[in-house]
Amino acid sequence: MKRIVAMIAGVVVGLAGASLLLAQVMANPFIGTWKLNLEKSKYTGVEAPKSATRTIEADNDGEIVTFVGVAADGTPIRYSFTTNLDGKPASVSGFGAHGGIDTQVVTRVDAYTLKGTATKAGKVVYTQRTVVSKDGKVTTETREGKDENGQPISVVAVWEKQ
């Protein structure tokens, strides 16, 4: 009898944990692992990476965002930042971030849209708008900015949920 009660308690605890995780993902459709679809993406004035994966984890009211991949020149990409989606600057750590950014500011516009500004040494490198599809399977990130020579860049990066 004690074994049955213990098993039932274990199942209840497991279901409660799973439902909390599901609620967190449903509350933030950006949570998960996303792979860059290079065929559907468009890079103008800047080279596309060879590959990239973006992982977004829940962190209280915000997110931990990590990018891993290979740049156009073959060098590794691995950087991350933690944001509360509140428009406050978040330090970018790691290497290979587009434009060498060191700070990212992200604000939630609505449940499916984020806007942001990426800077390096206090100077804006690009602005971005990221939208997740209603079915939660695709995010489209649109970036506008200037390269290190002041020439315009434009990126439409399409990310697919894994």
- 129 assigned to some structural domain: yes
CATH number of the domain that residue 55 is part of = 2.40.128.20
- 8 assigned to some structural domain: no
Report yes or no: 14 and 20 within 8 Å, Cβ to Cβ: no
Q: What is the pLDDT of residues 2-56, one digit of tens each?
A: 666 666 756 655 554 444 444 444 579 999 999 999 999 999 999 999 999 999 9
pTM of the shown model: 0.82
Write down the mean pLDDT value for the chain.
90
Q: What is the pLDDT of residue 27?
A: 79
Q: What is the pLDDT of residue 24?
A: 43
- 5 assigned to some structural domain: no
Number of domains in the chain: 1
Q: What is the pLDDT of residue 148?
A: 86
Report yes or no: 146 and 18 within 8 Å, Cβ to Cβ: no
**How many helical (H) and strand (E) elements, i.e. helices and strands, does the chain have?**
1, 12
- 23 assigned to some structural domain: no
Q: What is the pLDDT of residues 93-108, one digit of tens each?
A: 999 999 999 999 999 9
pLDDT above 70 covers a percentage of the chain that reads 84
- 45 assigned to some structural domain: yes
